[in-house]
Each structure stands twice: as structure tokens, then as C-alpha cells.
Amino acid sequence: MPRRRYHRAGLQPVNRIENQTLALAAMFQAAALVNELAQHGNCETDDFNCSFDSLFTIDAATTREALGDISCLSRGFTAMVSYLGGENRSPGRNIAYYLLSMLKISHQVLGNEGLSEKLLSGLQRIDSSSSEFNMSRHSVINKIDGLYQDCISSLSPRIIVRGEQNFLRNDDNAAKIRSLLLAGIRAAVLWQQLGGSRWRLFWSRKKYVATAKKFSSYN
């Protein structure tokens, strides 16, 4: 997540818009899945795994390696086209809120070396423990949940998840939501390092939508 691990040179973008689109799709996917878990209490396992596993691709050489197979970002491409293309305005509001919140938090992560190092060491420690002790998926998710609460929950503005209270009170569901938020923040850091910004999101939205549709056709 820190700059020294996800710097621009190391990611070697071939086409800037394509790489930004991949990172943006990862943000949209995390936001869409958070919304689904909060509103309905479940989401597609493969989509969740794609977002969650990206947290541990710390030394990725390319954007695709950092975010996973293009095919596993299909949920993100769909949400991205739906929202940026103006095809869906609800629950687009929630998705937009989570997306902008991830961007605000990612600015703080990029600007705080101590926080970046704490997140990096936490992810490395969890990854190492997972392999060494053969931890279950459930246990790893709970570890990431703890890392989020330790590093992100105290930042301002705090991300307020909107949904059904019975789903939000469920500890397992809440842990998945925080894990997805962290994955989205990580993708937001990556997007900014690839030249993404809120102004670029506004002025280049048609290019992002067209590129997302092109990637979707590969699936």
C-alpha cells in the first residue's frame, strides 16, 4: 500500500488510461461489494476473493499483477460502467460515497509515511502468519478487520457504511466489509500513483467507461 511498494516506475504502465481503469474498477468493485454486504448480507465469493487477495500482492510488478486477473474484476467493470455511464443512479449514490471516501482516506495514507509503514508491516505479518500457521480464510479476514480498525477507523472523515442494521451488526459481515474497504483504499492509492485524480475522473469518464467495456468483453 505505501508508495515505496506501489510506485509508478515499478508498475510500468503501458497505457495509462487502461491501467487507471483497472485500478478504478478495483475501487468500484470493493465499493459495490460493500454495498451488497451492507444491504443484503452477502456477495459473490469469487468477487470478494479477488478484492481481498489483492491486499497481499505487495511486490507486484504490473497493475494487473497488483489487482488480479481482468476476469475477476468483472463486478467492478459493471459497477463502473453503470455509474460513470449514467445508467444507474441508485444504489449508485452509496457506491459513489464509498468511492470518494476511499479516495480521501488514500490521500492520508499517501501523505503519512508512518501510517503507510504500519499498514505494510501489518499486511506482511498477516500474510506470513497465514502461511506459517495455515490460517483459515475466516481467521485471515478477521486479522485484516483488526488491521483496518487499528489503522483506518480513527482517520477522519470516518467511512459510514449504510445498510440494514442486522447485517451491519453481524461480526463476520462487518469484518468482510472492513476488509473490502481496505482493499478499495489500496486500489485508490494505486490509482493516484498511476496519475488518477478526481478531476481526471470527471474529464476522462467517457474514456474510462469505454476502456471498462473493452476489458469486460475479454471475460
Strand locations in 20-162 (E): none
Is 1 inside a domain boundary? Answer: no
Say how many C-beta atoms besides its own lie within 10 A of residue 110's C-beta: 18
Q: Does 3 fall in a domain?
A: no
Task: Encode pLDDT of 114-142 as tens digits.
Answer: 999 999 999 999 999 998 888 999 999 99
Gap between the Cα atoms of 180 and 32, Å rounded: 10
pTM of the model: 0.90
Most confident by average pLDDT, 10-19, 85-94, 144-153: 144-153
- Dist CA 173 CA 197 (whole Å): 31
pLDDT at 12: 44
| Domain count across the chain | 1
* Domain span including residue 20: 8-216
CATH of the domain at 126: 1.10.3890.10
**Cα dist. 166→5, 155, 162, 169, 172 in Å?**
38, 25, 12, 5, 12
For the four alpha carbons of 102, 160, 149 and 56, in that order, the dihedral sign comes to: negative
